A = this chain, B = another copy of it.
Amino acid sequence: MQRHLVGISQIGAVRCHRLIALARAIRQASALPRLDKSVALAFFEPSTRTRLSFEAAATRLGCRVAAFSSAGSSIEKGETVADTIRTLEAIGFDAIVLRHRASDAAEHAASIAKHATIVNAGDGCHEHPTQALLDALTLLDEFGSLEGKRIAIIGDIRHSRVYRSDAALLGMLGAIVGVCAPPLLMPSHLPDGIVQLPDAASAIEWADAAIVLRLQRERMDSGLVPSLSDYRRRYAVRREYLVGSRVRLLHPGPVNPDIELDAVLVESEHSLIQRQVSNGVFIRMAVMIDIFATELVEHFLSH
């Protein structure tokens, strides 16, 4: 088992279970350890919530955090991922949290790093493992167990790293995963056991919970989505679909209000979106403790 956190499939079920259990223990803990470590947040794509969530997790555990994004950094000078990783490691960072638009960025970074631990915070269309872990924790809080629960993922499945990580982890936890996307935003290959759902209305009817993906504006311009009104008609989650339903709604954020999800639903009784954000910090604290203070994991889990 590698120390890096590149993807759900790489770390396997045992480590996923441990991270979720650890996040729950941290959420209940009256005191937190202080890890005297340095964490670099290397975000080559814009992000508010993921960066702040990692930053909050690390600083609450007493880590030193240095953040940089592509704007205002040497990335503008054409620095490569490999060069960045080598430099950050030579500066002495113990962990490097990486977000990058290339789908192999985290794997590549992990192959370069000699001492530092790479944590994937989203790489291209590949994976976003801490998002899946926080989604799983949020769903487990709600349902107790995911065995046989039906979880629909709705939106641009084809390009979504959230879908890839969620499908792998939720399947591992016993859930039945369904996907719903316009034909051109569906992947060419779906793993066995994934259910295809024709539109958002039937997905909501089918599901115990729905993870609604953000519609990226660049997709609108790419010709893969016929038009915004066509998209809304079939694939947006609209308030009328939820009348009488007990379905839970998740979204990795930020929501495009009234695009993929009716704005009124964000703060409705169906929504678990704020809990996802809160759980995100606990999951990322669990990742830090798992990486930096393995000896504390048992202590937390035994309480």
Which residues does chain B contribute within 8 Å of A257, judged by CB atoms? 80, 83
> Is B48 a contact of A84 with CB atoms below 8 Å?
yes
Q: How far is the CA of A119 from the CA of B38 in the complex (A)?
A: 23
Cβ of A203 within 8 Å of any chain B Cβ, yes or no, is no
A75 partner residues in chain B, CB cutoff 8 A = 48
> Quick check: B254 and A56 within 8 Å, CB to CB?
no
Q: Does A191 contact B (CB under 8 A)?
A: no
Residue of B nearest to A88 (CB): B52
A277 within 8 A of B: yes
Q: Does A86 contact B (CB under 8 A)?
A: yes
Whether a CB of chain B sits under 8 angstroms from the CB of A256 is yes
In the complex, A145 has a CB within 8 A of chain B = no
CB-CB under 8 A from A51, the residues of chain B are 68
The residues of B that contact A281 with a CB separation of less than 8 Å are 91-92
In the assembled complex, A298 has its CB within 8 A of some CB on chain B: no
From A13-21, A58-66, A124-132, the one touching the partner chain is A58-66
Verify if A73 is at the interface (C-beta below 8 Å from B).
yes
Closest B residue by C-beta to A74: B48
Pair A66/B56 contact, Cβ less than 8 Å: yes
Partner of A71, one of B66, B72, B74, B254: B72
B83–A253 contact, CB under 8 A? yes
Q: Do A48 and B60 touch across chains, with their CB atoms under 8 A apart?
A: no
A78's nearest neighbour on chain B, judged by CB, is B256
When all copies of this chain in the complex are counted, the total is 3
- The answer to whether the Cβ of A156 comes within 8 Å of any Cβ in the partner chain is no
- Residues of B within 8 Å of A60, CB to CB, are 38, 64, 92
- Which B residues are in CB contact (< 8 Å) with A40? 52
- Please tell me if A70 contacts chain B, counting CB pairs below 8 Å: yes
Q: Cβ of A280 < 8 Å from any Cβ of B?
A: yes
Q: Does any Cβ of B come within 8 Å of A76's Cβ?
A: yes
A103 interface residue (CB < 8 Å to B): no
**Chain B residues within an 8 Å CB radius of A46:** 72-74, 76-77
Does A9 sit within 8 A of B, measured CB to CB?
A: no
What sequence of 0s and 1s flags, for each residue 84-128 of chain A, a beta carbon within 8 Å of any chain B beta carbon? 101111111100000000000000000000000000000000000
Other 20 A-B pairs with CB < 8 A, given A38-B56, A40-B52, A48-B73: A38-B59, A46-B73, A46-B76, A46-B77, A47-B74, A48-B75, A49-B87, A52-B68, A55-B66, A60-B64, A70-B72, A71-B72, A77-B217, A86-B274, A86-B277, A89-B274, A90-B275, A90-B277, A91-B280, A91-B281
